[in-house]
Amino acid sequence: MRRREMNVHLKSEERLSILRAEDQFRRWNSLDDERFCIVCEKKFNGRQIEIRSFTNGKHQLHCPTEACRSGPHQWVYPGTPLVSDIVDPDWWGAAGSEPQKLSGLSDQTQFQRQDQV
């Protein structure tokens, strides 16, 4: 059975309460708090977040940027450097134009699942 979703206008207090309950990764002190989406690289505040309310009382938070489907686990506080940028700001160029082959592995190497005994 499919859950039906609704986009409804929420009062400020209710919106903040939902943000606090549904974002388990970062704290919301007010609707003016900002986040940065690592998927679309846009900054937004709590008033702009898309909140989807389902008929079963559950909610989902989504980035307000059109066509971006990210959620709270993909948002950071503005100005927070990503680990990849701290380790090596040019991390994307380290691999070169072709994927590097791990030494000692042949082209025929296959990985098999080993069930626990």
- CB-count exposure of residue 32 (10 Å: 0-12, 13-18, 19+): exposed
Alpha-carbon torsion (8, 10, 16, 21), positive or negative: negative
Mean pLDDT of 59-78: 96
Mean pLDDT of 25-45: 96
Mean pLDDT of 64-82: 92
The model's confidence at residue 81, banded by pLDDT at 50, 70 and 90, is confident
- CB-count exposure of residue 17 (10 Å: 0-12, 13-18, 19+): middle
Most confident of 53-57, 91-95, 111-115: 53-57
Mean pLDDT of 69-88: 81
Mean pLDDT of 55-69: 95
Alpha-carbon torsion (74, 21, 49, 64), positive or negative: positive
Q: What is the pLDDT of residue 9?
A: 80
Domain boundaries, the chain: 5-87
Q: What is the pLDDT of residue 90?
A: 61
The CA–CA distances, whole Å, from 35 to 2, 70, 110 equal 31, 12, 41
